Structure 1
């Protein structure tokens, strides 16, 4: 019984160590993706048809204007909804819904993304959620 308990505890320790190592490597990857070129502006939007990203513009307003035109050409209007706000290493990050229930979500704080020259960069995505970095 004692041997079985020790095996369980040692297995748990190894599993925890491996999980911790995996989390650390994920955090390092996420941290690396926070690097943004100051010379380019990005805008990204999500619809039921998928994501559409425009980049390489002088300002975020231009980039988001391009995205707006693309969505208009599809006969869609972009509606933004803030899903949540949190920080990664002191960096302001916005998380918006990309689920089917919010098919026209925009990366950003509502229309402020288009009127206040917010630079929007997609950091990572998973089913139902997209995470973006937002800087003024």
Structure 2
């Protein structure tokens, strides 16, 4: 009987805590993250490159800031995963490849005046964060 009472108490308490945990959405490494944007546009530029066949490639480089100040634990290692909205190409960058909180993502063969977007998210030891879309217009 004593074990039954203890089991009921444990089940009751764990149910309360589960509800509280389910409501948390402040961890950027959770898919349900609802805090400030982890990724924002820092700057962008167009670079003209000469192809071997003589044609010109307009490479649009978007510099995106990773807001690590929103991490719950400082100095957390992470991976940034990005999907290019223009062509579906993907990239993965380790946190030690992120210099001064900025990543550079590029799209080739762009058009002046067109909008280009990257869908980016954090991952960390199996945790996958919510996606954040960053867009800007190639206006050069």
TM-score after normalising by structure 1: 0.39
Larger strand percent: 2
Larger Rg: 2
